[in-house]
Structure 1
Amino acid sequence: MSAYEIAVRGEAELGEGPTWDAAAGRLIWVDILGSRVHTYDPRTGVRTVRRTEQHVGAAKPRAGGGLVLNLRDGVGLLDPDDSFRWLHREAVPGRRGNDAAVAPDGSLWAGTMRYDEAPGGGTLSRLTGEGRQSVVLDPVTVSNGTGWSPDGRLMYYIDSHARRVDVFDHADGRVSGRRTLAAIEEDAGFPDGLTVDAEGCVWVALWDGGAVRRYTPDGVLDRVLALPVRRPTACAFGGADLTDLYITTARTGLTAPSPFSGSLLVVPGAGKGIAQPAFAG
């Protein structure tokens, strides 16, 4: 396996949510506290940065073009002409949107958390393309990584303060049978974002752990990628053949960040990812 490279040198406060936009051939990610949505085309090197009016926890491509955004006060839509409208607004003082993921059926599963990370202050909700919202998990503390097995029958989920990667049975937009896939040791940091590869293995970024781990569907740790940053936040496969692992990182809260904290990293040829669906809205 190749070592990490710096895909985009940057100083994001809280880089998060890398997503490969296959239709556009680019990676999308956010700086939550910087209120910015970034894109990067690895073929041309072209980058874009768009500022949002609120903290933005996640940005995902839409089937009809544009982006869906998990913002402080709810979920909004950026249309292809760059105009904005709310899909589901639910402003709760002291709370913001965090990580989000698009399910195999095109629905958005959007997490929230309190700014002070108070226990039980967050939720995980499912939103359809028409804007119908239903709460999937409540309460949670820091709603983070969410992903599905290649056949869509399992959902993986992280509430970071629980220090676990959980797995559910998934069918028709509902989950059941919650159990632990992997527990993270206290000295290894907090599990943050995740992605699932074509073999059904789960890759987990470890906040304060300086690494990304890969777990088999049976919960066996079979690979560790050591990184030059203390706070990797999330990972996703990208590139034309979905073999490059992109990793977002953060600087927030660090008194002495490394030179690469806040940059977008990539590990070429790390594995084989799954094509991610676009949001149906």
Structure 2
Amino acid sequence: MTHHMYEVAVRAEATLGEGPTWDAAAGRLIWIDILGSRVHTYDPATGRRTVRTTEQHVGAVKPRTGGGLVLNLRDGVGLLDPDDSFRWLHHEPVPGRRANDAAVAPDGSLWAGTMRYDEAPGGGTLSRVTGDGAVEVILDDVAVSNGTGWSPDGRLMYYIDSPTRRVDVFDFTDGRAVNRRPLVEIEEGAGFPDGLTVDADGCVWVALWEGAAVRRYTPAGVLDRVIELPAPRVTACAFGGPDLSDLYITTARVGLDAPPPLSGSLLVVPGAGKGMTQPTFAG
């Protein structure tokens, strides 16, 4: 049940590495350094890497259906067009608040989270942002909005507000998330749940901040696999590679007095499982 089969995909010293996302059209992994205001790409076939600096802290970056990227930024949601020009889709600065993790729903909307820099309870939100820039606040009372994902049939949504130590599940119909309930509670001493991804079997993979691991839970909430990692602050995970079988994992150095050597690197577990093709942002 416990595996140690990680490899180093990109050796880096990201302050707060986050948000691995497989860009299928480009055959590359996108990942970010939230507090370093950087968007990274990595092509595992060629080893080619790019780094782009953003003008403010970036919580998540996802591919768009028509090309380019959507960015969950400190002051709102922005669009990067294929020609590299930037524009705001939704601009809503709130002092003391920044963007955090985000995910694209089956209908192509962006479910974008925020949090306060001081992580105050109730200071964060989860909003549904459509391609035309319409924004609906779904949850207005979260602390650290984090992993969000959907079951293979699109009927369930999983969500993490990290300080709760829970992975919650909602029923998802017609773009609505209702009937919130706990799926998993992370025990004391095992860290805090951070990012998540859902595999083709409907199992939920959860990155554990301060837990030095990624865990896989069945749709019933039963722990069935642990991947132990050489960095305590594991932030997020996503399947990538040509057949979506490699699990990419981001890590962070922030707040560690003596970060282990691989803290801040992008790790990968080849052949970890079978991911799903992720929808692209319809805007």
Do they superpose with TM above 0.5? yes
Match for 1:241 among 226, 231, 243? 243
Q: Quote the residue 1:54 is aligned against.
A: 56
**Pairwise CA distance, 1:138:** 1.3
* Letter of the structure 1 residue corresponding to residue 11 of structure 2: R
1:9 has 2:11 as partner: yes
1:35 has 2:37 as partner: yes
Structure 1 residues 184-203: aligned runs within 5 Å:
184-203=186-205
> Does the 8 A contact of 1:18 with 1:235 survive in 2?
yes
> Does the 8 A contact of 1:238 with 1:245 survive in 2?
yes
* Letter of the structure 2 residue corresponding to residue 23 of structure 1: A
> Does the 8 A contact of 2:144 with 2:162 survive in 1?
yes
**Pairwise CA distance, 1:2:** 7.2
Q: Quote the residue 2:83 is aligned against.
A: 81
Partners of 1:182 and 1:138 in 2: CA distance: 22
Structure 1 residues 226-265: aligned runs within 5 Å:
226-265=228-267
Q: Quote the residue 1:140 is aligned against.
A: 142
Match for 1:277 among 272, 276, 279? 279
Secondary structure of the equivalent of 2:189?
A: helix
Q: Quote the residue 1:20 is aligned against.
A: 22
* Letter of the structure 2 residue corresponding to residue 249 of structure 1: T
Q: Quote the residue 1:117 is aligned against.
A: 119
**CA displacement 1:82-106 (0-9 Å, x = unmatched):** 1100000110000000000000110
Partners of 1:186 and 1:113 in 2: CA distance: 23
> Does the 8 A contact of 1:147 with 1:156 survive in 2?
yes
Task: Show structure 2 runs of 5+ residues with no match.
Answer: none
* Letter of the structure 2 residue corresponding to residue 167 of structure 1: V
Secondary structure of the equivalent of 1:138?
A: strand
Q: Quote the residue 1:66 is aligned against.
A: 68
**CA displacement 1:115-162 (0-9 Å, x = unmatched):** 000111000000011111001111100000000000000000000000
Partners of 2:117 and 2:207 in 1: CA distance: 21
Structure 1 residues 121-200: aligned runs within 5 Å:
121-200=123-202
The CA RMSD measured in Å over matched residues stands at 0.7
> Does the 8 A contact of 2:4 with 2:229 survive in 1?
no
* Letter of the structure 1 residue corresponding to residue 14 of structure 2: A
* Letter of the structure 2 residue corresponding to residue 177 of structure 1: N
**CA displacement 1:181-239 (0-9 Å, x = unmatched):** 00001200000000000000000000000000000000000000000000010000000
Partners of 2:85 and 2:4 in 1: CA distance: 40
> Does the 8 A contact of 2:4 with 2:227 survive in 1?
no
Secondary structure of the equivalent of 2:163?
A: helix
> Does the 8 A contact of 2:168 with 2:184 survive in 1?
yes
Partners of 1:153 and 1:236 in 2: CA distance: 20
Partners of 1:13 and 1:173 in 2: CA distance: 34
**Pairwise CA distance, 1:112:** 0.1
> Does the 8 A contact of 1:108 with 1:128 survive in 2?
yes
Q: Structure 1 residue runs of 4+, over 3 Å off?
A: none
Partners of 2:6 and 2:135 in 1: CA distance: 39
How many corresponding residue pairs?
A: 281
* Letter of the structure 1 residue corresponding to residue 87 of structure 2: R
Secondary structure of the equivalent of 2:20?
A: strand
> Does the 8 A contact of 1:2 with 1:268 survive in 2?
no
> Does the 8 A contact of 1:243 with 1:268 survive in 2?
yes
* Letter of the structure 1 residue corresponding to residue 229 of structure 2: L
**Pairwise CA distance, 1:279:** 0.3
TM-score by length of structure 1 reads 0.99
**CA displacement 1:43-79 (0-9 Å, x = unmatched):** 0000000000000000000011110000000000000
Q: Quote the residue 2:101 is aligned against.
A: 99
> Does the 8 A contact of 1:243 with 1:269 survive in 2?
yes
